[in-house]
Structure 1
Amino acid sequence: MSESISGVGIGLGTARGPVARMAERAPAPKDEKSTRDAAEEAARVREAVAAVAAELNSRAEAAGGAARDVLEAQAMMAEDPTLEEAVQARLDQGKTAEFAVHDAFAEFRATLEAVGGYLGERAADLDDVAARVIAHLRGEPAPGVPSPGHPFVLVAPDLAPADTALLDLDPASPNRVLALVTTDGGPTSHTAILAREKGIVAVVGAAGAAALQDGDVVIVDAASGAVTTHASDEELADADRRIAERAAAEAAPVTPGALADGTAIPLLANLGSSKGAAEAVELGAEGVGLFRTEFLFLSSKEAPTVEAQRAEYAQLLRAFAGKKVVVRVLDAGADKPLPFLNDAPEENPALGLRGIRALRVSEQILRDQLTALAQANEEAGADLWVMAPMIATVDETRYFTSLARELGIRVAGVMVEVPAVALLAERVLKHADFASIGTNDLTQYTMAADRLLGTVANLQDPWHPAVLKLIEQVGAAGAANGKPVGICGEAAADPLLAVVLVGLGATSLSMAPAALADVRFSLGRFTADDAKRIAQAALDADDAAGARAAARAAAGN
C-alpha cells in the first residue's frame, strides 16, 4: 500500500525517483587545548575563512539571481570582523582553530536569533558557513549535496543557500536532482524561494520525510504537496503521465496570461536587478510587477547619485520598452538598515522607521530616486509605474503620489503590506493610481508572525482566510475605483493560490520568472466564475490548511 507524506508544494511539478539523503554534518569539535600556538592557529583560520569566502563568491557569480545575493551575504558573514575578533579571543585562550570557529559562530548565531527578523533568519546561514570553515580546517570535503551517480530525489532537513543555488539540474547529468524534499522550512524559506526561482519540483516542511531512506522510490507532487512512498504501478504510471504533460506545457509557445474564458491576467516578473531581464522575457514575462531597487543602496555608505541611478534604471526599462514596469522605491529599514538613512537602533525595527516612513524623513533621497526614474524612462520608453512600500495611511498615500507626479512620474501607486491600508483601500485608491499587494509582509503583519522566524512558520501562510479577506477587500476597492490591483508577493507563484487571488479581484500577478509557466497553465484551466467560486471556498475555511484543501476540492484537484 502506498503512503503519503504531506508538506507544502512549490509550483505544479511532479517527479519520481530514488531518494538520496543529505549527509549529516560532521560532529562538533571538542573543547580541547591546541598543540599549536595562537598565531599559528590564527593563520589557519584566516586561510580557511578566505577559502570559504572565495568559494561562496564563486558560487554566487555562477548562480546569479536571488541566489547570488544570498551567497554574497554568506561570504560577507564569513569575513565579519566581529566574528574574527571572537575567534581570536578563543585562540588566545589556547583553543584549537576548529573549536574557536565553532564556539564563536555559535555565540554569534544565538545573538542573531535573539534579534529575530531578517537577522534571525541569517542565523541558520551561519551554521553552513561555520561547517564549511571547519571542514576546510580538517581537510575534509565541505558539507553538501550527495553524488550517487544517478538521478535522485534529494531529501534534507533544509538546504543551505550555497547548496540550493547550484543544484545539478542538467537532464544529461548522472547526478541530476529530480526533486527536493525538506523536513523543515516553509513556503517563504530561502530553500522554497530559490527552488521556485530555479523551477525545481519541491515539497518543503514535510516532517514525515525524515523516515525516508536512501534508495526509496518516491513520487513528489508539488501541486498537492505530497510525497508518495511504496507507490503502485498505476500511481507510477500516472506520475509519468503528469510529468510528460507538464513538459509539453512548458515546451508550448508562450502566450499572455489569461483565464479559460479569455479574461486577461498579465503575468509579470519580480526582479532584483536588471541582470535578470533577458531571462524573464524569454520565460514569457509580460513586464515587471516588482523591481526592487535596494541593490543600488545596500552596498553604499552614501546614497547613489541621480545619474548612477538613472543609468541602472534605464538598462532595465530598455529591456521592457513599451511594456509595464512597476518599480518599488527604496524599501529600507527593519532588516535593511542604511547608514545614510536609518541606522539608529530600534526596539522593534519591523514596526519602526522603514519604507515610506524612512524616506519621508530623508526626503531628498526619495526625490533623487523619483527624478532618476523619470529621466530614465524618458530615454527608455517603458510603461513606468512607481510605488511606495509600507504605506499605512491615506496621508502617506497623498504625500507619495503628489511628490511622484511633481517629479515626472505619471503612474504612482502604493504597496499593500499593512492591514490598515487594506481596510482603507477604497479611500487610498481615490488618491493612488494602483495598488500592489505584497503578500509576504501582509501575511506577517496580519498574523503577527515574523515571516523569517521558524518558530511561527505555521502562521506565515498567505492561504490564511484572514489574509485572503484583506486581499478581497483591496480587490473590491480596486473594482469600485476602476484601479488595477496587482499581487507581487510569493503567493502569486503558487499556481492554485494564483487562481484564488484572481477570484479575489487581482488584475495582474507578478512572480519569480521560473514560476510563470506553471501559473500560466493553472489560470488557463479556469474561467473568471470558476476563480470566484474557488476563492469563496478558500474564504469559507477556518485556517490556511483548510483554505488550501477547500480550494483544491473546488478546483477538482
Structure 2
Amino acid sequence: MLTVTGTPVVPGLAHGPVLCVRTEISPAAVAAFEARPALDEEAALAAYDEAVGQVAAGFERRAAEGSGAAAEVLTASAGLARDKGLRSAVRKHLRAGTPLLAALHAAVEQFAGVFEQMGGLMAERVTDLRDIERRATARLVGESEPGVPVPEVPSVLVAEDLAPADTAGLDPRLVVALVTERGGPTSHTAIIARQLGLPCVVGATRAGDLEEGVRVLVDGATGVVEVEPDADEAAARVARDAALRAEVEGWRGPGATADGLPVKLLANVADGDSAARAAQAPVQGVGLFRTELSFLNRSEEPSVEEQTEIYASVLRPFADAGHVVVRTLDAGSDKPIAFATHAGEENPALGVRGLRLAFDNPGLLERQLDGIAAAASETGVETWVMAPMVATVAEARDFAEQVRARGLKPGVMVEVPSAALLAHRMLEVVDFLSIGTNDLTQYTMAADRMATDLAHLTDPWQPAVLQLIAITAHAGTQAGKPVGVCGEAAADPLLACALVGMGVTSLSMAAAAVRAVGSQVGRVTQRQCEEAAEAALSADDPAGAREAVRGVLLG
C-alpha cells in the first residue's frame, strides 16, 4: 500500500510507527471460566454487578483526572455500564438458563440493536456498549481490561474503532495521531481527538491492513495516510505543520479576515462547567448551548426554578462578553429524554423530536422559555433562543412569537432541507438562523451520520449540503440578519473560510477548535473566502471541494 484514505476530522500532520490496538481477551481465560461449574442466577448477577461496578469506577477515575469532552464522555460511559435496563436484560437471560458470559453478550447485543435502529448519536454508543462488554468480560475471567497499549516511542494509533476510555486517556506526547477504520466526524474518537489536538482520520476502511511498526504520515486535513514516505520529506512537512500550530496557539482574536471583515467565533457548550472553560478561550460568546444534555438522565421534568439555575450557570461566564444562543430541547431520536420524548417510534430520526415535542405538549416549551427568560433577567446577559428541527414558516412564526413575548431574540436552526430552501421566508419571522450541519447533512444525503459505510455521504463538504448553506447565507445577507453555523463544519479551518465566503456571519464550535479557525480566517481576505466558496460549490464531490479550496487558500 502507498496510501490509506479516510474522512479527515482533525487537521495536522504527524509521522511515526503504527501501533495497532487489539481488543481481544485471552480465549484460554474465557474457556477456563466457562469450564467452571455454572453459577446460579443470584451468584451470576452478583458477579456481573461487581464486574460492571469495577468498569464504571474505572471510567469515573479517568473522568476525574480529565476535563472537557473527555470527562463528559467517560462519565456517560460509567452511567451506561451501570444502566438498570442493561442489568435487567442480563437477569432475564440468566433466568432463562443462559450462562453468564453469554447472557452479558446477549443483553449487549439486544441494546446495540435498539441503539443502531435509533441512529445518530445513539448508534455511536454501540461502540461504548461493546467496550463495556469486553471490559466486564475481562473482569469476570480474571484478565486485565483491554485497551490501548502504552507506546514506547511516539506512535500513530490505528484501530478498528476506539472507545471513550481508550481515547480519553491518551498521552499526546506518545500518541501523535489517530486512524480508525470505523467512525465519523461526530464520533467520540473525533470529539476527543479535537480536544487533544491530535491529527485524526476516521472511516479509513483499509487501516486494518497496516502492519505494526510500519511508518506512516497522517494528514488530518486531507484524510490521507501515506505509508513509508521519504523520512526527510516527512520530517520537513511535520516541522512546517508544527510551526503553523505554534502560530495558531498564539491567536487571541477577535475573529476577522485579513482585510477586516468581522467573523464572530463562538463556543458550543453543554453546561455551566463547559461554559466556564469556553469563556477562557478567545470567543465572543456562545453559539450553541445544548440544553438537552443537562437532562438526559432525568426521569421527571425539572421545575422552572431548577431550569433557571441551570441556564444561569451557562450565562454567567459571559456576563461581560458577547451573547449566548440557547437551543431549546433537541430531544428525541438519538437523545431520548424520559419526560419528553415518545417511545416506540418506528423511525425516530424522522419522528417527533426537537420543536415537534411541543406540538402535543406545549407546556414543555413554555416552561423552558420561562426558565431561559428568568436566567437572562437574573444575569443580564444578552440571550438569543433558537428552536431545533423547524421545517415550516408557520412553526418558526409561532416559536418567534413566544420568544419575543418573553423579551428574548428568536431564531431557528436550519437542519431540515425545507428550512434552507425557505430561509428567506424564515427570516421574515425570526431574527437569526443557525445552520446545524450535522443533521442538515444527514437529512440532505439521506444517510445516517454515524454509518461508517456512508461516511463519504455524511461529509459536510458534500456539494448539495454546501448549496443549501449558500442559499441560507444569501438569504441572511439580503435580509441583513445574522446566519451562523454551529455544526462540526464550523471547526474545519478551510471549510470555515468557504462558509464566510458564502455569507455566514458567525461560526460556533468546540472551544478547542477556535484558535485554528480564527488563525486561518485571519490569514485570508474576504475576496479569497468568496473564491473559496465558489470553488467548493463548483466541485463534484467532497474530495474535489477540499482540494479546490486548498488551492485557493493555500496555493
**TM-score of the pair, normalised by structure 1:** 0.93
Among candidates 75, 86, 89, match of residue 86 of structure 1: 89
Secondary structure of the 1:343 match is: coil
Change (3 A) 1:378 1:420: same
1:147-196 deviations in whole A, cap 9, x for unaligned? 13332221111100121122123x4xxxx211111122222222112212
Among candidates 274, 277, 283, match of residue 276 of structure 1: 274
The separation in 1 between residues aligned to 2:157 and 2:393, in whole angstroms, is: 48
Among candidates 149, 153, 161, match of residue 150 of structure 1: 153
Q: Which residue of structure 2 lines up, in the alignment, with residue 131 of structure 1?
A: 134
Change (3 A) 1:359 1:92: closer
Secondary structure of the 2:69 match is: helix
Among candidates 550, 553, 557, match of residue 551 of structure 2: 553
Q: Which residue of structure 1 lines up, in the alignment, with residue 60 of structure 2?
A: 57
1:421 Cα offset (Å): 0.9
Change (3 A) 1:129 1:320: same
1:514 Cα offset (Å): 1.0
Among candidates 259, 267, 273, match of residue 261 of structure 1: 259
Secondary structure of the 1:459 match is: coil
Task: Kindly provide the amino acid, as one letter, of the partner of residue 329 in structure 1.
Answer: T
Q: Which residue of structure 1 lines up, in the alignment, with residue 39 of structure 2?
A: 37
Deviates more, 1:482-491 or 1:322-331: 322-331
The share of aligned pairs that are identical, in percent, is 49
Task: Kindly provide the amino acid, as one letter, of the partner of residue 358 in structure 1.
Answer: L
Change (3 A) 1:82 1:332: closer
Change (3 A) 1:523 1:272: same
Change (3 A) 1:118 1:206: closer
Deviates more, 1:443-452 or 1:14-23: 14-23
1:401 Cα offset (Å): 0.8
| 8 Å contact from structure 2 (residues 20, 157) kept in 1 | yes
| 8 Å contact from structure 1 (residues 367, 407) kept in 2 | no
Is 1:358 the counterpart of 2:357 in the alignment?
A: yes
| 8 Å contact from structure 1 (residues 13, 246) kept in 2 | no
Q: Which residue of structure 2 lines up, in the alignment, with residue 239 of structure 1?
A: 237
1:479 Cα offset (Å): 0.5
| 8 Å contact from structure 2 (residues 184, 451) kept in 1 | no
Is 1:141 the counterpart of 2:144 in the alignment?
A: yes
Is 1:316 the counterpart of 2:319 in the alignment?
A: no
Deviates more, 1:240-249 or 1:145-154: 240-249
Q: Where in structure 2 are the equivalents of 1:67-216 lying within 5 Å? A: 67-92=70-95, 95-169=98-172, 171=173, 176-216=174-214
Q: Which residue of structure 2 lines up, in the alignment, with residue 346 of structure 1?
A: 345
Task: Kindly provide the amino acid, as one letter, of the partner of residue 184 in structure 1.
Answer: R
Among candidates 199, 202, 219, match of residue 221 of structure 1: 219
Secondary structure of the 2:508 match is: strand
1:32 Cα offset (Å): 5.4
Q: Which residue of structure 1 lines up, in the alignment, with residue 483 of structure 2?
A: 485
Matched residues, number: 550
1:111 Cα offset (Å): 4.1
The separation in 2 between residues aligned to 1:517 and 1:4, in whole angstroms, is: 30
Secondary structure of the 1:282 match is: coil
The separation in 2 between residues aligned to 1:537 and 1:441, in whole angstroms, is: 24
Deviates more, 1:28-37 or 1:503-512: 28-37
Q: Which residue of structure 2 lines up, in the alignment, with residue 372 of structure 1?
A: 371
The separation in 2 between residues aligned to 1:344 and 1:133, in whole angstroms, is: 29
Task: Kindly provide the amino acid, as one letter, of the partner of residue 361 in structure 1.
Answer: D
Task: Kindly provide the amino acid, as one letter, of the partner of residue 400 in structure 1.
Answer: F
Task: Kindly provide the amino acid, as one letter, of the partner of residue 465 in structure 2.
Answer: V
Change (3 A) 1:88 1:338: closer
Task: Kindly provide the amino acid, as one letter, of the partner of residue 275 in structure 1.
Answer: D
The separation in 1 between residues aligned to 2:62 and 2:246, in whole angstroms, is: 31
The separation in 1 between residues aligned to 2:107 and 2:277, in whole angstroms, is: 41
1:120-156 deviations in whole A, cap 9, x for unaligned? 3322221101000001112211111111333222111
Structure 1 gaps of 5+ residues are: none
1:294 Cα offset (Å): 1.0
1:300 Cα offset (Å): 2.0
The separation in 2 between residues aligned to 1:248 and 1:151, in whole angstroms, is: 19
Change (3 A) 1:346 1:240: closer
| 8 Å contact from structure 2 (residues 13, 199) kept in 1 | yes
The separation in 1 between residues aligned to 2:180 and 2:23, in whole angstroms, is: 14
1:90 Cα offset (Å): 4.2
Change (3 A) 1:111 1:321: closer
Q: Which residue of structure 1 lines up, in the alignment, with residue 433 of structure 2?
A: 435
1:96 Cα offset (Å): 4.1
Q: Which residue of structure 2 lines up, in the alignment, with residue 301 of structure 1?
A: 299
Task: Kindly provide the amino acid, as one letter, of the partner of residue 445 in structure 1.
Answer: Y
The separation in 1 between residues aligned to 2:135 and 2:72, in whole angstroms, is: 19
Q: Where in structure 2 are the equivalents of 1:384-395 lying within 5 Å? A: 384-395=383-394
Q: Which residue of structure 1 lines up, in the alignment, with residue 398 of structure 2?
A: 399
Change (3 A) 1:299 1:157: same
Change (3 A) 1:206 1:426: same
The separation in 2 between residues aligned to 1:313 and 1:78, in whole angstroms, is: 29
Q: Which residue of structure 2 lines up, in the alignment, with residue 533 of structure 1?
A: 531
**TM-score of the pair, normalised by structure 2:** 0.93
The separation in 2 between residues aligned to 1:279 and 1:534, in whole angstroms, is: 32
| 8 Å contact from structure 2 (residues 164, 189) kept in 1 | yes
The separation in 1 between residues aligned to 2:61 and 2:446, in whole angstroms, is: 38
Task: Kindly provide the amino acid, as one letter, of the partner of residue 237 in structure 1.
Answer: A
| 8 Å contact from structure 2 (residues 118, 348) kept in 1 | no
Task: Kindly provide the amino acid, as one letter, of the partner of residue 175 in structure 2.
Answer: V
Is 1:333 the counterpart of 2:337 in the alignment?
A: no
The separation in 2 between residues aligned to 1:222 and 1:339, in whole angstroms, is: 38
The separation in 2 between residues aligned to 1:337 and 1:12, in whole angstroms, is: 32
Deviates more, 1:179-188 or 1:91-100: 91-100
| 8 Å contact from structure 1 (residues 98, 134) kept in 2 | yes
Q: Which residue of structure 1 lines up, in the alignment, with residue 380 of structure 2?
A: 381
Secondary structure of the 1:361 match is: coil
Change (3 A) 1:452 1:470: same
The separation in 1 between residues aligned to 2:247 and 2:448, in whole angstroms, is: 36
1:62-85 deviations in whole A, cap 9, x for unaligned? 334333443333333323334334
